[in-house]
A = this chain, B = another copy of it.
Amino acid sequence: MKSKIDYQEILKLINLLEEKKLTEFELEIEGFRIKLVREQSPRPSLVREQPSPSPSPPTPPQPAPPLSKEKAKNNLHYITSPMVGTFYRAPNPSSPPFVEIGDKVKKHQTLCIIEAMKLMNEIESDIEGLVEEILVKNGKPVEFGQKLFAIKPLSS
C-alpha cells in the first residue's frame, strides 16, 4: 500500500469493511492516515424470518407484496395496483387480453382491469415501454400496491 494508496484500493477497503461488518477502520503510516467508519445499518425486523410457529402457517391470499423500497431490477418500471380487487387482463372473458408480453405500450394505454365492488377500473400505463413481465394471473385478487406489470421503458 506504500504511501500511494489509490482509489481502487480504497474502494476495495470500503467493500471489505461492509462485507465483514466492520464499523471502523483507521490506518496511519508516516504522515499518512486513513480512517473509515461505517454506519451500522438498522437491524432488519426478525418477524418475517420466522413467523409464528403455527402448525398452519399464515397463508396470504397472494404473494406478499414486495417492499416498496425494493430496487427495480434492470431499471424496470412497475405498474402497481392502486386498489384492492380482482385482476382481469381482458375487458371480458371472450375478448383478447389488453396486452401481452413483448407488446409495446404507450402512456395512458389500458393494461388491465381491476374489479372492485362490482366496478371495472381500467388501469393505464404511466410510461411508454415494452411489457417485460405480467406478474398476476387473470382472475386473481390483488392488494393495494401489488406489482402488476414490469415495463421496460423506452427512451423517449
Contacts and interface: CB of A to CB of B under 8 A. Distances in A.
Interface of A: 1-7, 9-18, 20-40, 43
Contact of A32 (B16, B29, B37, B40): B29
A21 B38 contact: yes
Contacts of A43: 43
B14 A29 contact: no
Contact of A14 (B3, B5, B22): B22
A18 B20 contact: yes
B36 A25 contact: yes
A140 to B, nearest CB: 40
Contacts of A15: 20
11 contacts: A1-B10, A7-B9, A7-B13, A18-B20, A21-B39, A22-B37, A24-B37, A28-B31, A28-B32, A29-B33, A43-B43
